[in-house]
Structure 1
Amino acid sequence: MHLVDTVFPILAVVVTGWLAGVTGYVPRALGASLTRFAYYVAMPALVFLTIGDETLRKLLDWRFLVAFGGGSLICFGVVMTIARLERGATLGTSTMLGAATSMTNTAFVALPVLKALYGKPGVLAAAVATVFIGALMFPLLVILLEINRVTTSGKIQLKPLVRQIVGNPVILATAFGLAWSVSGLGMPKPMESFFTTLGDALTPCALFAIGLELTLGELRDKLSYYSLLTIVKLVITPLVTYLLSIAIGLNHELAVAAVVCAAVPTAKSAYILAVEYETEKTMVGAVISMSTLLSMITLLAWLSII
């Protein structure tokens, strides 16, 4: 009952946003502004506050990174390899297939869920997972997509890669938070209240925006194909993460955090890449919509199991 009481309000906000969008009560165009505020203001504030108030020792648990990061990379590699060898897909297409099944929305979904479950330790785990996605997975995808584009452009363009890394608000907030933590200055009360006020806006803004922008039209074509990719994202990827957590002896709280981070929907950043490189936009959009919709069931199932 406690689990349902904790998770239900989070999922209910997504449903409320979706209902507001389909009924026209709130314009869908508002979702972009809410997402931008959540991503560039509220989330960095919460990440900075959490990391800046912790010791460096607590931030770097290699076993959590092995469980979550390993699960994501394994599934990405397997899906990409199968697409290349069995389906004869191009490097760009196979890269986006791997991204759709491994790039996870840790910032907008996992972070609010883990904050509700564990408070600051949950936020910290989601922040570390988000940095892994932003600092390793995202650049990896950009490099592969740039290599795929080399046949038309004649050279690999590293400028988008550098821009995405340097300008990522979560990475910047994490870097500043680490610096503040190492400085030992502590968090003054007025400063803590300021960042807390901004950070508290993350959950309602991000989840409502996800629901508001959720569309089901992409799911009509190739439903079985999109369903298979969604199952890999919501079932296989968290399963691999869970098995890795057990294998390396990760403590229960961090194991739950790793599985939650792996079990949330596909990240919107995957769609941004698909649009940027004009590769599998329809497929990625459909998997994001389907995984967002079905994760309301599968996430609760995973939490109940573990």
Structure 2
Amino acid sequence: MSDILLLLPEFLLIVCGFVLCRYTALNRGVWDAVERLVYYLLFPVLLFNSIVRSPLEFQTTLPLAGAGLGIVAVGIASAYALRHLPGVDPPLHASGAQVAFRFNSYVALALADKLAGPAGVTWTALLVALAVPLCNFGAVYPLARHGGHGFWREIVRNPLIVATVGGLIANLLGLRLVDPLASTLQRIGQAALPLGLMAVGAGLKLGGLWAGPGLAAGLLGIRHLLLPVVALALVHLLGVPVAQQAVVVAFAAMPTASSAYVLAVRMGGNGGYVAGLVTVSTLLGMVSIPLWVAVLRWVQG
């Protein structure tokens, strides 16, 4: 499939969600419930099931893991650094910082098979398993600090962190789910990607960005420009196998997590601002992922 068409099915699902929310009886109230269902049940089940079912051979994927963690670490450090620039509003930064380093796991898992086949799904599951806890630590800390929430209390209640840690523990212990439980969880998880992408489309809106356009440009610049460049450097510096490099670069170029809006609202942040950032990041991601994958292939020769 041509690079430019990589994300067309996912983009069409996002458009579908936008149209349904704006022009049918399936209005915002319906999609608020869908977002909560995906965030608290469907996606955690998908994440847990993907990690449990995937053979995570850490010894043979250390460069891949190092590149993924390096990308997220650079994103967090860069996003936090923006807080010290003149004119940046601290509460607004606390809400939006997560956009610079969090990633849309729905898109990542949907794209993995197209980039590298079944092995790509396994590699992406490893990246998600390692990156989700770090990303959520980075996202919750500034919101907890400015909103008066308990940091560790929010961490242990985060469904994505709970699912990831649970999946990793089960995988490392060699535990495997038996039917019919395994089949049931697989079916629940399969609903996460289409509903999650449609919920992203339903939540698209731009108005809140006017609260801090300069900060928005900085955060989105980190997400869609700096991190892909860092990924291109890391895959070569760490010796990531050629077959895995496209997965790493696409991971770095992902649009931000749609659940960033849910987290910001739940912790008393500026939901409208984060919704605007998620909207622009989603649209940029549809272009930036094929672009950066093409750049990688050009570099590879």
Normalising by the smaller structure, the TM-score range is 0.7 to 0.9
Structure 1 residues 183 and 236: alpha-carbon distance in aligned structure 2, compared to 1, 3 A threshold: closer
- The match for 1:260 among 237, 243, 250 is 250
Contact kept, 8 Å, 1:130 with 1:170, in 2: the verdict is no
Contact kept, 8 Å, 1:47 with 1:124, in 2: the verdict is no
1:1-306 correspondence to structure 2 within 5 Å: 1-4=1-4, 6-58=6-58, 61-84=61-84, 86-87=85-86, 89=88, 92-105=91-104, 107-118=105-116, 120-148=118-146, 158=150, 161-184=151-174, 186-219=176-209, 226-275=216-265, 278-279=268-269, 281-306=271-296
Aligned length: 296
**What RMSD over aligned residues (CA atoms) do the two structures have, in Å?**
3.2
Per the normalisation by structure 2, the TM-score is: 0.81
The CA deviation at 1:185 is 5.5
Contact kept, 8 Å, 1:227 with 1:290, in 2: the verdict is no
The CA deviation at 1:212 is 1.2
The CA deviation at 1:135 is 2.0
**Residue aligning to 2:299:** none
Per the normalisation by structure 1, the TM-score is: 0.79
Structure 1 residues 208 and 256: alpha-carbon distance in aligned structure 2, compared to 1, 3 A threshold: same
The CA deviation at 1:290 is 0.9
Instruction: Give SS of 1:29's match.
Output: helix
Deviations 1:141-186 (A, max 9, x none): 433444456xxx6xxx53xx33333233333333443344345454
Output the CA distance in 2 between the equivalents of 1:222 and 1:180.
43
The CA deviation at 1:207 is 0.7
Q: Percent identity?
A: 26
User: What are the ranges of 5 or more consecutive residues in structure 1 without an aligned counterpart?
Assistant: none
Contact kept, 8 Å, 1:55 with 1:182, in 2: the verdict is no
Q: Which amino acid in structure 2 is aligned with residue 200 of structure 1?
A: Q
Contact kept, 8 Å, 1:267 with 1:288, in 2: the verdict is yes
Output the CA distance in 1 between the equivalents of 2:206 and 2:39.
24
The CA deviation at 1:254 is 3.1
Output the CA distance in 1 between the equivalents of 2:264 and 2:166.
30
Output the CA distance in 2 between the equivalents of 1:119 and 1:43.
21
Structure 1 residues 223 and 24: alpha-carbon distance in aligned structure 2, compared to 1, 3 A threshold: farther
Structure 1 residues 229 and 89: alpha-carbon distance in aligned structure 2, compared to 1, 3 A threshold: closer
